[in-house]
Amino acid sequence: MQTATETERKYDVPAGFSLPPLAGAAGVSRHGEADTHDLDATYFDTEDLRLARNRRTLRRRTGGEDAGWHLKTPGDGSSRTEHRMPLTDGDDVPAELVAEVRTIVRTRRLLPVARLRTHRVETPLRDADDRTLALVAQDQVCAETGGEEQRWQEIEVELVDGGPEVLDAVEGLLRAAGATPAAGPSKLARALGDRLAPPERSGKKINPVLRYAREQREAVEAEDPGVRAGAAEAVHKMRVATRRLRSTLKTFKGSFDPDRATALKVELKWLADRLGAVRDGQVLGHKLLTVAGEFPEVAAGIRERLDADVARGKEELVAALDSERYLALLDAMDELVDDAEPDDADAPRRARKALRKADRLLDEATADGVDAELHEARKAYKQARYGVEVFAPGVGKPGKRLVKALTGLQDVLGGHQDSVVAREVLRDVARTAPDAFGYGVLYGRQEQVGEATLRELPAAIKASRRKKLRAWLG
């Protein structure tokens, strides 16, 4: 499968529109010889148009220089990413493209939803060195959807070797000649018309708990392609989103259907564990290998152990993302956060309660000096911080400052827990090492890291418990 980035702008034009001279627009010296193409595209989507609603278009097109299967996905600004595959016999969407949209369509069938036939006159815009800066496509479109037919004309301007200034200059000339920016994002959207109309909104202000839960649902779905591609940052962000949503269901359990929430928490834990099997090894590897340089054999042993853990974790994670269980989890998230109508009158109190519980656990842990208790306190502060995050945007600076203070406290506790886990790994790897001296040195240094973080803890606790920071919680 090939991928390419498209940067283009679309314009509606009246019947009989003629392309104006575009020479002189940001380095354009002349029009090249125009090519004519007759394109025939069948667009595929689910019955409820899930791809179109998520700004994806999937088509099988004949004619032109890039005949084949095309999947367009959102990019930055006016850019889009296009995934391309050769033509196949029949209307079965290639499995590789289905995989790209699996989290959107899930178990739903991809069916033909529209047929667009386009007569295209494509004119290259060239500079003084005969480079093609952009292509201007004048399209006469005939769209068939649901037994109905529509016809219109439009213009697309796509960058080739030019920069964004070419698009700006060409747009000025086109608009002066009577073109207007396209009313819709794509030909398909125009063809589907009312079928893509957004659902009616009640006008009621969205509940902050519900808004936060929906943001996490969207983050899980958005990071899926990156996780499949092995991007470490995507693994981290999806894991955080699963934790935030699971924590939200715990803290604000009165805001959601209890049976659905209970079932979803189990599934989110399942997904987070598989993400963690990859992420924890990556983070720990970076921390340990950074300080193991003076002991090459130790570094090699650590790298072998953690690389194996991460590789095994990635294999299990991909298998999880390809499973029916994962698709069911995505459906369960949708059903819970889209159907919920929570009464948030009690929600601030629940966030306050979660924070007080974390305070109590940390006080007990510091008094006992037990690593496992400090770890439990750290997890409790994560839950409390996520609860605070729900309301922080609505209260401005006080909310942001409390989130920042709790994050700082959590980082100190996290640094201590990292040192605990690092020591466990060093001890395990050292058991089979011919010489454990280097491991012992690193173990001692990790003990020092743990002690240093504990010395930072009182100041972090004090900063997070300032009355001014928490006053808005009540």
DSSP string for 21-73: P-TTSTT--EE---EEEEEEEEEEE-TT-HHHHTT-EEEEEESSTT-EEEEEE
pLDDT at residue 387 greater than cutoff 90 = yes
What pLDDT was estimated at residue 147? Answer: 87
Once rounded to an integer, what is the mean pLDDT over residues 28-34? 94
Scanning the structure block, which residue is given the tokens 């819970």?
A: 336
What pLDDT was estimated at residue 362? Answer: 96
What pLDDT was estimated at residue 330? Answer: 96
Q: Flag the least confident range among 73-87, 365-379, 420-434.
A: 73-87
DSSP string for 319-370: HHHTSHHHHHHHHHHHHHHHH----GGGHHHHHHHHHHHHHHHHHHHHHHT-
What pLDDT was estimated at residue 137? Answer: 95
Q: Flag the least confident range among 31-40, 76-85, 429-438, 462-471.
A: 76-85
Q: What are phi and psi of 420, to 5 degrees?
A: -65, -50
Q: What are phi and psi of 62, to 5 degrees?
A: -115, 155
pLDDT tier for residue 263 given thresholds of 50, 70 and 90: very high
pLDDT tier for residue 293 given thresholds of 50, 70 and 90: confident
Distances from the Cα of 294 to the Cαs of 76, 141, 299, 428, 441, in angstroms?
44, 68, 9, 20, 11
Return d(Cα 247, Cα 400) in angstroms, integer: 19
Q: What are phi and psi of 288, to 5 degrees?
A: -75, -40
What pLDDT was estimated at residue 76? Answer: 65
Burial class (CB within 10 angstroms; exposed 0-12, middle 13-18, buried 19+) of 219: middle
198 vs 349, more confident: 349
pLDDT at residue 234 greater than cutoff 90 = yes
Quick one: tokens of 285?
A: 């590897």
pLDDT at residue 467 greater than cutoff 80 = yes
What pLDDT was estimated at residue 371? Answer: 93
Q: Closest Cα partner for 240 from 291, 275, 203, 189?
A: 275
What pLDDT was estimated at residue 47? Answer: 94
Q: What are phi and psi of 393, to 5 degrees?
A: -60, -30
Q: Flag the least confident range among 111-120, 172-181, 195-204, 296-305.
A: 195-204
Chain centre distance of CA 107: 21
Question: What is residue 437's three-state secondary structure?
Answer: helix
> What DSSP state is assigned to residue 198?
P
Written as one letter, the residue type at 138 is Q
Return d(Cα 362, Cα 356) in angstroms, integer: 10
Tell me the pTM: 0.82
For 27, residues 6+ apart whose C-beta sits below 8 A from its C-beta are: 127, 128, 133, 162, 165, 166
Question: What is residue 237's three-state secondary structure?
Answer: helix
Return d(Cα 215, Cα 234) in angstroms, integer: 16
Return d(Cα 354, Cα 364) in angstroms, integer: 16
Q: How many CA atoms lie within 13 A of 82 on its CB side?
A: 16
Quick one: tokens of 443?
A: 């173990």
What pLDDT was estimated at residue 204? Answer: 60
> What DSSP state is assigned to residue 151?
E
Return d(Cα 95, Cα 71) in angstroms, integer: 12
What pLDDT was estimated at residue 15? Answer: 86
Distances from the Cα of 375 to the Cαs of 19, 191, 198, in angstroms?
68, 56, 45
pLDDT at residue 236 greater than cutoff 90 = yes
Distances from the Cα of 292 to the Cαs of 199, 285, 311, 442, in angstroms?
57, 10, 21, 7
Return d(Cα 83, Cα 95) in angstroms, integer: 13
pLDDT tier for residue 16 given thresholds of 50, 70 and 90: confident
Q: Closest Cα partner for 269 from 406, 388, 391, 379?
A: 379
Q: Closest Cα partner for 166 from 130, 138, 135?
A: 135
What pLDDT was estimated at residue 346? Answer: 76
Scanning the structure block, which residue is given the tokens 């589907």?
A: 192
Average pLDDT, the chain: 91
DSSP string for 87-148: --SSSPPPHHHHHHTHHHHTTPPPEEEEEEEEEEEEEEEE-TT--EEEEEEEEEEEEEETTE
Burial class (CB within 10 angstroms; exposed 0-12, middle 13-18, buried 19+) of 121: middle
The strand pairing partners of 122, in sequence order, are 35, 137
What pLDDT was estimated at residue 131? Answer: 95
3-state DSSP: the chain helix, strand, coil percent, rounded to 5?
A: 60, 20, 25
